[in-house]
Structure 1
């Protein structure tokens, strides 16, 4: 019974603090972000406790236990829930301490920046082609061996394909360019942050590119990349549009979740069977998409990790993740034996079954480096970084360069979009956050800005100057 008491009281405290954060910032990104952290931390615990106490939740996580370890309602699991709850609550407290009061954005923001949809579309196409070129050989190998492309491209044959990281970066760049462009097009000409001339050709171009990139993601099983750009693009639209069409956004979100369900359902099939798998889906199968969030094993895989570290006495590394993060700036093809991240230490210590994908909770990464104090420090750092993203978004004066203005305008939304990635990684995930969530969209918008150097060289609107700051 104490497990239900802890879950109920912790959830109540998290909801109350989340409301206080919302009342300070008045933007959907904060309750959404807190909800994402809760989903990957405590949501799965309700089902586990129910099942262990004789109930039947109907959730699928038994295969994970068979390949990893069984979860028991013991002192270690009670401590796991307590530490996860403390992790979320400390993040919220840090937000309340460091978050700047007031709506984000508000009417004091500078004039919107004009972007070229032609450049955004070109970037999406070029990045998509480059991503495909780097992964073409593994795709052909998977097809010839009648294997799932997801398994082959994610190291199921023993190692990752060459230049896999660059392929991922290009793939994310293609998806981000498309999502940002669609958000700007949907925001109208009176948008707050970004505007751009559009017409039926631009909209048709985005839809065509989006369809092609979705098919590419479906073949590769890239569910997380789609989730990232979906959340990021949706939050950017909410911030950019002065009168957001919430019904249309809700419908788009529902379609997006169906797309995620399709990727999750079909990514275990060989390439030749993907199209057939789509045709074989019956109406009853499509109804399962409505249960995707509640039934997905995403709520359990990372949730297990801290319990495994406690129950199996995984040794602490005392800061090896710091060395791993510093070494990660050197590409793996240039340094094949660079220090591994905390996930490999954890997987080796608990004996993860070969070929079984797994994730490690962010709090577990901090624990395996610095113990319980590491979890507390990691939560405060997370909350400070999140609040800092909001503070950086506010204008601070005319000395700001175009890069930093663009950086501030995408930071709050892309951080929240990256929460699913960051919560399932050790603190080495901050490197991916910096590159993929902060630098990449900023550079994309810098290239697409019509009064930027790139567009002036291409003679795209060379004489027009959008004011950087309001008079």
Structure 2
């Protein structure tokens, strides 16, 4: 059996599993959310295999191979693909067993009835959106002076400010979406204008990530665990595809040296649009396990746990912090100042705990997602709305989670980009919510 056939067979199995699990979760406990990590894994861990099979068949070298390392469909590639499947299988089985155990329980649907966007929520929407827009304008201005695109300039010249503006942009987005959903007609118009400003700012900065997360968040917030006619789901899916297509306009802006269409390298843009199916968003992460095996990178047991431990301490106590698992990986694969590469989550787990780390990683993700899902839909009490927001926020940034190594994104994605915004938004809503007011099987 050739490696190409093996990769195609495994990809087909993963795709079929994603479809089957989505249908099973929906029919059993009326929810889509548990299947989201499966689909993201399919795109970020397995889809690259099809890219490389097609590329090797026609003798094409994907452009990311020249930037990192060439890929051969050999035994290392087959083993790396199988290791990804072990991670995927660990999560999928955990989620499947969770749903199977709770199949006879009544799901308590989250209702937004009676909730209203108050002054505090609207104020934070306006404030954070304006801060984010000002940041985009400053980056565009500085980039024009440096003869660079705002995307490339902001990528390497924001320093320690970048995490702060990332959090600000994320809060702005979530607050504006909720203000639009829960507000009056006038508030909806204001919120829509803020969302357009966030879109424009993200486009200037080349920030596809936040826009993709916004689409996933909206879909989960308003469609998960709700019952609609088939036509409604079809319309929602078409809207989802249209929204994703709009995000691709960012490729044009990324090639601007100045904010002017005459400075666009249209040949590069067309190549980028054509190559979107083999984007670095998918391929770099997919290549990481192969790079580890190809370069015989030995696991550094507990590396990420040491890094997370040192980040708890303030810099005046410990300024020389431990290197993260990405730094350990990239230095041994190809030392390069360009930090556009990424490492997949299962690769990080493997470098921390060896092969057993693949099972631990998938199991840990399943445990967190299912635990939040249980608190959101089967739990009792006034905090179910908070848990639901936390679940939606975490799953909406599962892309960022999958592109970071090992246990480290539990801090970056779960605590910083999910827990903190969920707490802020929850207390800003200040609504009177009765958890038992709406229940559905």
Q: Which category of TM-score, normalised to the shorter sequence, fits these structures?
A: 0.7 to 0.9
Any residues of structure 2 matched to 1:285-304 within 5 Å, and which? 294-304=277-287
Contact 1:146–1:272 (8 Å) recurs in 2: no
Distance 1:117 1:258 in 2: 33
> Which moves more between the two structures, 130-139 or 70-79?
130-139
TM-score by length of 1: 0.80
The verdict on how the C-alpha distance between 1:10 and 1:323 changes in structure 2, with shifts beyond 3 A counting, is same
1:411 aligns with 2:393: no
CA contact (8 A) 2:297 2:332 kept: yes
Is the Cα contact below 8 Å between 1:143 and 1:149 reproduced in 2?
A: yes
Question: What per-residue deviation string (whole Å, max 9, x for no partner) do you get for residues 79-121 of structure 1?
Answer: 1111111211121011122346349994565784613154433
Q: Name stretches of at least 5 consecutive residues in structure 2 with no aligned partner.
A: none
Displacement of 1:210 in angstroms is 0.8
Cα 1:227–1:104, aligned 2, differ >3 Å: closer, same or farther? farther
Secondary structure class of the residue paired with 2:309: helix
Contact 1:132 1:167 in 2 (8 A): no
Please state how far the C-alpha of 1:203 moved relative to its aligned partner.
2.0
Q: 8 Å contact 2:44–2:282 — kept in the other structure?
A: yes
Inter-CA distance 137–13: structure 2 relative to 1 (3 Å threshold): closer
CA distance in 1, matches of 2:71, 2:271: 30
CA shift, 1:305, in A, is: 0.5
RMSD: 3.3
In the alignment, what sits opposite 2:369? 386
Residue of structure 2 equivalent to 1:267? 254
CA distance in 2 between counterparts of 1:214 and 1:82 reads: 38
2:224 matched residue in structure 1: 239
Distance 1:109 1:235, change over 3 A: closer
User: Mind listing any 5+ residue stretches in structure 1 that lack a counterpart?
Assistant: 186-195, 452-464
1:323 has 2:324 as partner:
no
* Distance of aligned partners of 1:254 and 1:470 in 2 relative to their CA distance in 1, 3 Å threshold: closer
Q: Is the CA contact (8 Å cut-off) linking 1:343 and 1:360 kept in structure 2?
A: yes
CA distance in 1, matches of 2:22, 2:397: 19
| Deviation string, structure 1 residues 397-455 (Cα, Å, up to 9, x no partner) | 3xx4x4x322222233333212211111012011122234432442243233244xxxx
CA shift in 2, pair 1:162/1:4, >3 Å: closer
- Which of 191, 194, 204 matches 1:209? 194
Q: TM-score, normalised by structure 2?
A: 0.85
C-alpha separation in 2, matches of 1:16 and 1:250: 19
Q: How many residues align?
A: 429
Alignment of 1:299-314 (within 5 A): 299-314=282-297
Kept in 1: contact 2:129–2:197 (CA 8 A): no
Within-5 A mapping of 1:4-153: 4-15=4-15, 17-18=17-18, 19-20=20-21, 22-24=23-25, 25-52=29-56, 54-55=57-58, 62-99=62-99, 101-102=102-103, 106=107, 112=113, 114-116=115-117, 118-132=119-133, 138-153=139-154
Assess, with a 3 A threshold, how the Cα gap between structure 1 residues 368 and 260 changes in structure 2: closer, same or farther.
same
Over 3 Å counting, the alpha-carbon distance change for 1:324 and 1:223 in structure 2 is same
Q: Secondary structure at the match of 2:178?
A: helix
Tell me what 1:198 maps to.
184
- Name the structure 1 match of 2:212: 227
Partner residue in 2 for 1:191: none
Give the Cα separation in 1 of the matches to 2:409 and 2:299: 18
What SS does the corresponding residue of 1:114 show, helix, strand or coil?
Answer: coil
Q: 1:394 Cα shift?
A: 2.3
